[in-house]
Amino acid sequence: MSLFVIAALALAAFVFVEHRSTKPMINLAFFRRPTFTAGTICALAISFGMFGLSFFITLFFQNVQLYTPFQSGLRSLVCTMTFVFFTPLASKVAGRIGSRLLMSLGVAIFALRLFLFARVQIGTPYANIWPLLVILGFGMACVMAPMTVAVMRRSCGSWGNRLGYHQC
């Protein structure tokens, strides 16, 4: 519990210093824009789930199912490859239909993945786990690329224009 208090105090100190700085690391005015704030919260939630699962699945493969680190990495690669394959497609779809629907779909898929991973037990074979890793990679692709596009298009201001995002 004390670590949460320390983290909250550190966050408050960071906001205080950034608010008063002439050259802040992040312009806090961005958080007044709903798209930027929603995108940031969405990225936080997805990243929290992704890194939490990465930590869990690595320990599960190595300590419970007794795979070597290399074998564990190969088994986890399914998620990465799915993410790499679907991210460009998700960007194109987001450009056509908008980011909001695709991000909502991705978060729903992510929630489904959490529910399904809760059913993994000690003796669960890899044949039942790899489809869950595919769902994870697909859900991340449906969220991360459209979220980045939405935040850059609606929240970036002159910084985005310098990078070539002319719709900012």
Residue 153's contacts (CB-CB under 8 Å, 6 or more residues apart) are: 160, 165, 167, 168
State residue 86's pLDDT score: 92
| pLDDT of res. 165 | 42
Per DSSP, 93 falls in state H
Q: Give how many domains the chain has, as a whole number.
A: 1
Q: 20 lies in a domain?
A: no
Would residue 168 count as lying in a domain?
no
Query: What's the confidence (pLDDT) of residue 166?
Result: 46
Do 144 and 43 contact (CB within 8 A), yes or no?
yes
Whether 14 is covered by a domain: the verdict is no
pLDDT of residue 155: 57
Q: Which domain holds residue 41?
A: 36-156
Q: Could you tell me if residue 6 is inside a domain?
A: no
Q: Which helix (H) or strand (E) holds 120?
A: none
Q: pTM of the predicted model, to two decimals?
A: 0.74
Per residue of the chain (168 residues), give pLDDT as tens: 899 999 999 999 999 998 888 888 888 888 888 878 887 888 888 888 888 888 888 899 999 999 999 999 999 999 999 999 999 998 888 878 878 888 888 888 888 888 888 888 998 999 999 999 998 889 888 888 888 877 776 655 544 454 444 444
Of 44, 141, 51, the C-alpha closest to 91 is 141
